[in-house]
Amino acid sequence: MVQRRDMRVSDAERQAVVDRLLAAVDEGRLDLQEYDRRIVGAYGAVSYGDLDDLLEDLPPVRPTTPEPATWAVRPTVPAALAVLWAVWLSLSTVGLVLWGLFGLGGGPGSFWPLWVLAAGAPLPGVSAGILAARRRSAVPSSVALLSSPAR
């Protein structure tokens, strides 16, 4: 029976060792000359034993664990809401600029940009409601935290 050490390796396994060696350089465990020597050995490896010899003095890579979730105080604004605000602000700005350039001679009762400005009146309330709903759904209740199984 053939031992694992004598089994032939694939190109993907050689590449995985080269990637680990590069990580060792990034960690400061290998200098460039040693890295160079070892990748030549990795690409020329025939068996698992050849690859194992290249990694024997390096610690195994620990899988990185994601940072624990932190609950955002201010949830992100949905894209559709951001677009609505951008459109309303743009139209309001254009209306005010045009009124300022051309509408001053029309008298005090002809402030027509008011119609554009008034169209956006519901936006602050709608935005506050959407953000409050997102904030409520993002923060777990203490009951859910207490009843969740320990890991």
For the stretch 123-138, pLDDT in tens is 888 888 888 887 777 6
First-to-last C-alpha distance (Å) of the chain: 41
pLDDT at residue 145 is higher than 80: no
pLDDT at residue 18 is higher than 90: yes
Per-domain residue ranges of the chain = 4-55, 79-147
Q: With left for phi above 0 and alpha for psi between -120 and 50, is residue 28 left, alpha or beta? A: left
For the stretch 69-101, pLDDT in tens is 555 455 577 888 888 889 999 999 988 888 888
Read out DSSP for 87-146?
HHHHHHHHHHHHHHHH-GGG-TT--THHHHHHHTTTHHHHHHHHHHHHHHHHSPPHHHHH
36's tokens: 């160079």
Q: Which residue has the higher pLDDT, 95 or 40?
A: 40
For the stretch 2-13, pLDDT in tens is 888 999 999 999
Percent of the chain residues past pLDDT 70, beyond the cut: 77
